Amino acid sequence: MRIDALTIFPEYLEPLGTAILGRAQTKGLLEVGVHDLRNWTRDVHRSVDDTPFGGGPGMVMLPGVWWAGLSEVLGLPTSPQDSSETTPSDDVGRRPLLVVPTPAGRPFTQQLAEEFATRSHLVFACGRYEGIDQRVFDAAAEHVDVVEVSLGDYVLIGGEVAVLAISEAVVRLIPGVLGNQRSHEEDSFSDGLLEGPSYTRPEVWEGIAVPEVLKSGNHARIDRWRRDQSLLRTAERRPELLADVELDKADFAVLRS
């Protein structure tokens, strides 16, 4: 997979080269390009924003600068009006995906992370101020797949933190990135539920013992106990998730208890 990100704060994205994401690059599983949007400015002040049409507070990022940057990174025509130069691949995985972090976007979920992980090229556009002129994405959608995504119902200062969060969620799903493939298969959301509690040594810490069943060596009992904990935690913290999970008799019994 290749990830490109355009931002006015490239240094903010240095963690993309650290820890597991860094190792994924060393292993040849990931390529990362971080681009300073100001490289595509044309004026002496290297401006990237202007006041909003219709009035109101804050500034909006300029469409021309964004198109210049995105068209280069995505290989699009230099003018959005020119549709002759791009022929999208029939294979969705090979088509680049332009990801636009915005609080007004579709909620980013594990399911979306799994979809993104099937792509070979993600390009992120990091907004600042009041965001980016909408015409950039409306025009880009004529040439590439575009998705506006939100990290959650709160407002960040810029899109960079969203790039880091989304990249981590996606890259860890690429086969070979995590040492143990099972770790993400058993994580929260992979079966639609929150994961239950985890314990390690010592068996008794500060007078608190780990649950007996986990030391029993009986894998069927341990699996059942983990499923029960997972169900109970989900019912308590995120009951709305249960609506999309296939539950059997034993599951219902636990939830009723």
Annotation: binding site for S-adenosyl-L-methionine: 127, 151-156
Q: Does the annotation mark 130 as catalytic?
A: yes
Rounded Cα–Cα distance for residues 249 and 50 (Å): 60
Q: Quick one: tokens of 17?
A: 């080269």
> Which of 36, 195 has the CB closer to ligand SAM?
36
Q: 40 or 230: whose CB is closer to ligand SAM?
A: 40
Sign of CA dihedral 36, 40, 46, 51: negative
* CA distances in angstroms from 232 to 30, 198, 239, 254, listed in the order given: 37, 14, 9, 8
- Nearest CB to ligand SAM, comparing residues 152 and 211: 152
Residue that the structure tokens 């998730």 belong to:
241
Of residues 63 and 228, the one with the C-beta less far from ligand SAM: 63
Catalytic residue chosen out of the listed positions 38, 46, 95, 172: 172
Report the nearest approach of ligand SAM to the CB of residue 98 (Å): 13
Q: How far is the CB of 79 from ligand SAM (least distance, A)?
A: 24
Closest to ligand SAM by CB, 156 or 213: 156
Query: Do residues 74 and 123 make contact, with C-beta atoms less than 8 angstroms apart?
Result: yes
Closest separation between CB of residue 159 and ligand SAM, Å? 3
Minimum CB distance to ligand SAM, residue 59 (Å): 10
Is residue 48 within 8 A of residue 62, CB to CB? The reply is yes
187 is catalytic: yes
Provide CB contacts within 8 A for 238, sequence distance 6+: 194
Q: Which of 36, 72, 130, 191 is catalytic?
A: 130
What 3-state DSSP class applies to 119? coil
Return d(Cα 90, Cα 94) in angstroms, integer: 8
3-state secondary structure of 90: coil
Helix 249-256 to helix 219-237 angle (10° resolution) is 50
Minimum Å gap between C-beta 182 and ligand SAM is 30
- The residues binding ligand SAM (CB under 6 A) are 101-104, 126-128, 130-131, 150-152, 154-159, 162
Q: Are 255 and 235 in contact (CB under 8 A)?
A: yes
Of 36, 95, 103, 195, the active-site residue reads 103
Active site residues per annotation: 103, 130, 172, 187
